[in-house]
Amino acid sequence: MEVFDVTRSQLSWTADHSEPSEIEGFPLWPPIPTPGDGVLAPLSATPGEDRITVLTLPYSPSGSLESEGVVEAISTACSSGAVGVAVLTEGPLGELIAQNTEFSQPRWPVPVLIVPGRAAATLSRLIERQTPVRLRIAGRARPDTVHNVLGHRTGTGPGVVISTPKSGWFRCAGERGSGMAIALAITEWCARETELDIRFVSATGHEFHGEGARRFLAADPPLRDTVALWIHIGANVAVSDWQLDAVGTPVRRDTPATRRGIACHPVLYAAVTASFAGQPGYGAPIGIGVGRVPGETQHFVDHGYSPLIGMVGAGPLHHTPADTAVATTPALLEPVARGLIGAVQRILQHQA
């Protein structure tokens, strides 16, 4: 695939020393580099020629261009004669929120830059003053190869698949790291304590709506009749909640993020409910088969694997540059890992 190494992505303008003169951003994928020193034009809240159009994306916990009308709004702004588009992402902490997109998404006709929601007031002043603003996206496009990570421990017992994505925007310590930690913990427990035939799948391309998982399923996936249980551990499964204090500073709370849930086939309800009792968001599973489930779990459901457990969450740091090691703690990770291990124990006892 083609990757793009970003070296500069910002809006800048001439200002006096009493106020900032630049806003750091991030390209909307796939990136369009700007020529030379960038494009210079006034900002506009409505699409128009020879302007940098400013759009606001209402907050979506998924951080995805799948939301209804988003791609159409950006495309309209790009095709209006604008020299560039600045996309403000609203969110609980005012952060820049990168957006997942299709692997096949065509390049935008003009450069599109994502900027943090907290910059809204500044951009409004620039629009009002008709200040010329420079939009820059610089970097290097290059071909590269990305990989899924697959593992197999041959066992004499039933087959179990444990999967979790391995890629994301920025450092994604909460989005990916919490899932990886828990996936490795439950895989280690299964290998040590059971005779299960274990397959481990960590797919890349999550940012492209699970492209790596699709490639895995199209290549050489496990035969359905050899899989007695599939466990998919998605984004933000054990991350902290955050809020802004009185002066607008993000503060981490001791409680888990409120947006998280678990889905399973009905045959697993009892085991999952008992194992996650008292854990917010996980104690009342939703049924697979009632509607589409969020995240990459749906890929495996569509491929016919059953029974299956899928879990996913969305924290305030999701898809932001602030999603670093502060996103999670051992106190949040351990109960989720123990809940999954408990579910596997109950399922094995029921199957025995």
Query: Cβ neighbours of residue 125 under 8 Å, at least 6 residues apart?
Result: none
The answer for residues whose C-beta is within 8 angstroms of residue 174's C-beta and 6 or more apart is 236, 239, 240, 315, 317, 318, 323, 327, 328
- Topology annotation, domain 2-143: Glucose Oxidase; domain 1 (3.50.30)
Residue 70 pLDDT? 87
pLDDT score of 26? 98
Q: What percent helix, strand, coil does the chain show, rounded to 5?
A: 30, 30, 45
pLDDT in tens, 172-217: 999 999 999 999 999 999 999 999 999 999 999 999 999 999 999 9
What is the amino acid identity at position 194?
T
Domain 149-351 in the same topology as domain 2-143: no
- Pairing mode, if any, of strands 159-163 and 229-233? parallel
Which backbone phi and psi does 46 adopt, to 5 degrees? -125, 145
| Helix or strand (DSSP H, E) at 319 | none
Contacts of 32 (CB under 8 A, 6+ apart): 107, 108, 109, 110, 111, 112, 137
Report the relative pairing of strands 2-12 and 132-143 from DSSP bridges.
antiparallel
Task: Note the CATH architecture for domain 149-351.
Answer: 3-Layer(aba) Sandwich (3.40)
Reduce the DSSP state of residue 54 to 3 states and report it: strand
Pair of tokens at residue 146: 């990305």
Q: How far apart are CA 148 and CA 226, in angstroms?
A: 21
**Phi/psi at 174 (5° precision):** -80, -45
Backbone angles phi, psi at 14, to 5 degrees: -85, 125
* DSSP character string of 140-161: EEEE-----EEEEE--SS-EEE
Among residues 334, 321, 331, the alpha carbon closest in space to that of 173 is found at 321
pLDDT in tens, 47-105: 889 999 999 999 999 999 987 788 999 999 998 899 999 999 999 999 999 999 999 99
CB count within 10 Å of CB 177 equals 21
For the chain, list residues with pLDDT below 50: none
Look at the block and give the residue holding tokens 């678990």.
262
What are the structural domain ranges in the chain?
2-143, 149-351
**Minimal CA–CA distance to 300: which of 214, 198, 188?**
214
The single-letter DSSP state of residue 100 is: B
Q: Are 162 and 183 in contact (CB under 8 A)?
A: yes
